[in-house]
Structure 1
Amino acid sequence: MSDTISLTIAKYAASTSIAGIPAEVRERARKVIFDEIACAFFARRSLAGALAARFAAQSGGLPEARILATGQRVPAASAALANGTAGHGEEVDGAHVVGGHPGASIVHAALALAERQRASGAELLNAVVLGYDVGVRIVEACGGLFSVKNRFSLNSDFLFAIGCAVAGGRLLGLDPERQCHAMALSSFSSNALCALYAEKRHISKSLCNGQFAAAGVTAALMAAAGLQGNEDIIGAPHGVLDAWGEDGQRVLATRGLGDRYAIMGANFKFLNCGYPIHAAVEAALALIAKHAIDTGEIVSVDVGMPTDTMKVVDNRAMHNICLQDMLSAALVRGGLGLRESPFPAVLSDPAYIRLRPLVTLRGDADLDHYQPNGRGATVAISTRSRPTVSMRIDHPRGHSLRGEVSWHDLAAKWRDGLPECDVDRMLEAAQGLEDLDDVGTLLDAFTTRH
């Protein structure tokens, strides 16, 4: 009798080790871990990050893991909640080619339990790679971000809680049976209706990633304590794939485990705005520079995106996931920095007030055909006195299909974003992650200068 889908995943999870992970995958994982910790440290200042830290600190309990960028220690699940929320708080955390933000949940779930267990850097790295392998595959088997959203009005990031649970289970040394229970238990406390995108202050959009991280940590600890769930929550009738899976895609939940590493599809962000906005901003600023365009001469800015992608950022209430707001601000200010949001100050700028109504967003048939779930964009700028100029960017800077992001790129990002920190020390700790006997050493490097 063949193994169930859940047991196949659980057996794989229990067998993984750093020795079996190829060098290029370990290198990508080190960069992802470094970047996601820096994102949480950076975005503690965000409203969502600050509120989540305050809530976690009030929860009480054992001081198992730290709330990043504070001097506080809380139970592992509370740390995962606070750090996962901050991780997405400023929209600079990594995205993925299947859609969503696995790192804000998976890295911080694994990190909290690794600190609780005093795990080694190699064990943390293995757990994060595993979490991506499982969480991303489940999203793929459900058709990806837009399929889940369009069919069920759900943010597919909630499925990353399963990857969080498996990563946590590996750090706790769970056997395959208990890994199955951990996956099942994680499904009880994670969900996210896409109505959250209609909020104005980016609080619940950030909080959901922290909640998924906490759900995974809690599920792994529950399974370790002997609590149980359906032993095949992934493949069972009325289970995950029965509820949300795409027809004919069940095989994707396990295909390529140990061969195709999902973390290689992780993307890095260099702007603090929704990922679909990045290519448009990059193209528009390149056109301005190339053609020496005076923004006061602009009469229209036409942006084309894949139709599903367009819906994520079209005239949203939150400035940093609204294409029209962020692109207008970028053109007026000459770019977007990590540290200082242009909002709300730019709202009263006459140049912004004039330009904002001139930016239009539409679905692009060519992008729909070639990359329906992609993050590319076309931008056409018309002025009073010159012919229209245009540019298409298929993959924004930092995208995994554009080429490897270097440590130099990440260092420059965080020297800009965290000037109060010793970024060189942070880099050294992350690059030597596999040699660390205790992940606490890595986290000690993420502190402000005294």
Structure 2
Amino acid sequence: MTDTAALARGLSAAITQAVRLHGAPLAEPVRRHALHVVADTVGVSIGGGRTPEMTRLRATQPPGGSATVLAPGAAPTTAEEAAFLNATAGSFLELDEGMRPTGHPGMHVVPAALAAAEVAHRSGAELLTAVVAGYEVAARLLTAFRLTPPTHPHGHLAGVGAAVAVALLLDEDPHAVAAIAATTPTVPVWNACYEGATARNTAMGLAAQNALRAVRLHRAGFRGSRESVGALFGQVTGQVVAADALDAELDPAEPAILRNYFKRHSACALTHGAIDAVLSLPEVPVEEISAVEVRTVANNLKLDRQAAPNDLSSRFSLPYAVAAALTRRASEISTFDYRPPVAELARRVRVTVDCELERQWPHHSPTQVVVHAGERLVATVDDPRGHHHDPLTADELRAKFLALTGEPGPQLWDRLLGLDREPDVITVLAPLRGA
């Protein structure tokens, strides 16, 4: 039986450790990396905000407020609504950063913290340290628990980290606010991704919104239960695998945010090793491909499925991602949109677990691809490009940002990279408001 009281104490320890990161100068490598996490998250949200669903959803947002919606020309709104819209938009393109194992703290923490910092007129430095602290709590929780399939990692554990960041920025008790967020999670399942149910994109939005709402509830006298985390994720939807991750001693020079990954491909991160392997191979005519083998780790088998005929489902199919890379020989957002000819090639892709590769997980995320096309072509990657073992350069991150943001991109990138020098966060996103 899971000791929920001990896990609650572990969560308290995690929050106490993370709070040490807030309000003190960050080590230069941490500062630089955290700025890139914030900028990348903002860029991905802007890119996702161009989808028809998000455009129509913004048209229904309530009027009034001072929090920025990450879409050029969009009217400001309330902090809760901005956090919801911005994190939801960030889920659409499957380009948001993440960590192993396994989750996406950035798109939970940054939109919530950004909205809180704007309405409270916090400095950029305060926002940045709150993001690093919230990320730390999220990463420790995602390491401590292994989710039981089909539980999906959006909407819950990282949302507790978002609540910590928000509480720090709004001068509230992070332990009390995190306990409320832990008591009221959103718990989605992978099936929605497979089917192509785009409502699943709201899970991160609901978690970011919930972080702001947890402060409202706390101020109104509501109380949360830190034992909810152990009960739900240690007994119902997961199991405890590394409880010591919660109260491990923090080295401020090595917080969890340094061990993230940035995404290059507009598809579930579990496909990225295979995509990189394919793109490293010489080009072969698709009609000559008789079979493709993907040898990978057991964690990736949840994507060993054929895509339903829609763009979300195709991004959660490992065979489809491999077929798309083989067909298009590039990685653009449209590469992974659903196309019947790609789906036909995907039926020739077979996925298996390789025991040698499995031993490297989760410290590495290796994949091998073998293409049979007259000759036998083989490529292996230890980690997808963008993983902290093979990081993207600042220039590569900027290029991704500019491709996602369009016209306001260059000015906005410069402002985000100078975020911690701004006395009021609200000035940083002025290019989106035409200011």
* Normalised TM-score (structure 2): 0.88
1:324-363 mapped onto 2 (5 Å cutoff): 324-338=319-333, 340-341=334-335, 343-344=337-338, 346-347=339-340, 349=341, 352=342, 355-363=345-353
Q: Percent identity?
A: 24
Distance 1:6 1:357 in 2: 45
* Contact in 2 for aligned 1:52/1:207 (Cα 8 Å): no
Read off the aligned partner of 1:433 and give its amino acid letter.
L
Q: Displacement, 1:441?
A: 2.0
Distance 1:243 1:310 in 2: 22
Q: Which residue of 2 aligns with 1:383?
A: 373
Distance 1:321 1:374 in 2: 20
Distance 1:248 1:308 in 2: 15
* Contact in 2 for aligned 1:109/1:214 (Cα 8 Å): yes
1:211-230 mapped onto 2 (5 Å cutoff): 211-230=206-225
Q: Displacement, 1:254?
A: 2.1
Q: Secondary structure at the match of 1:280?
A: helix
1:1-38 CA distance string (max 9 Å, x none): x9943443444455543534211111110000000000
1:12-411 mapped onto 2 (5 Å cutoff): 12-50=17-55, 52-55=57-60, 57=61, 59=62, 62-69=64-71, 70-142=73-145, 147-150=146-149, 153-157=150-154, 158-174=156-172, 178-198=173-193, 200-230=195-225, 232-233=226-227, 238=231, 246-247=239-240, 249-259=242-252, 260-289=254-283, 293-312=284-303, 314-317=305-308, 318-338=313-333, 340-341=334-335, 343-344=337-338, 346-347=339-340, 349=341, 352=342, 355-371=345-361, 374-384=364-374, 386=375, 388-403=376-391, 405-411=392-398
Distance 2:336 2:268 in 1: 15
Q: How many matched pairs?
A: 422
* Normalised TM-score (structure 1): 0.85
Q: Secondary structure at the match of 2:65?
A: coil
Distance 1:206 1:373 in 2: 28
Read off the aligned partner of 1:221 and give its amino acid letter.
R
Structure 1: unaligned runs, 5 residues or longer = none
1:15/1:379 Cα in 2 relative to 1: closer, same or farther (>3 Å)?
closer
Q: Secondary structure at the match of 1:253?
A: helix
Distance 1:299 1:27 in 2: 46
1:158-203 CA distance string (max 9 Å, x none): 11111011000000112xxx32221121123313132543553352
Distance 2:56 2:288 in 1: 43
Distance 2:98 2:29 in 1: 19
1:203-235 CA distance string (max 9 Å, x none): 2332101111111111123224443223x4478
Once structures 1 and 2 are overlaid, which stretch shifts more, 80-89 or 204-213? 204-213
RMSD, aligned α-carbons: 2.7
Q: Secondary structure at the match of 2:378?
A: strand
Q: Displacement, 1:244?
A: 6.3
Query: Which of the pair has the greater relative contact order for Cα pairs under 8 Å at 6+ separation?
Result: 2
Q: Displacement, 1:416?
A: 2.9
Q: Secondary structure at the match of 2:24?
A: helix
Q: 2:416 aligns with which of 430, 443, 446?
A: 430
1:280/1:432 Cα in 2 relative to 1: closer, same or farther (>3 Å)?
same
1:354/1:162 Cα in 2 relative to 1: closer, same or farther (>3 Å)?
closer
Distance 1:322 1:247 in 2: 28
Q: Secondary structure at the match of 2:379?
A: strand
* Contact in 2 for aligned 1:421/1:446 (Cα 8 Å): no
Q: Secondary structure at the match of 1:5?
A: helix
Distance 1:53 1:442 in 2: 21
Distance 1:342 1:159 in 2: 28
Q: 1:414 aligns with which of 379, 401, 404?
A: 401
Q: Secondary structure at the match of 2:195?
A: coil
Q: Displacement, 1:97?
A: 1.9
Q: Displacement, 1:85?
A: 0.5
Q: Secondary structure at the match of 1:19?
A: coil
Read off the aligned partner of 2:247 and give its amino acid letter.
T
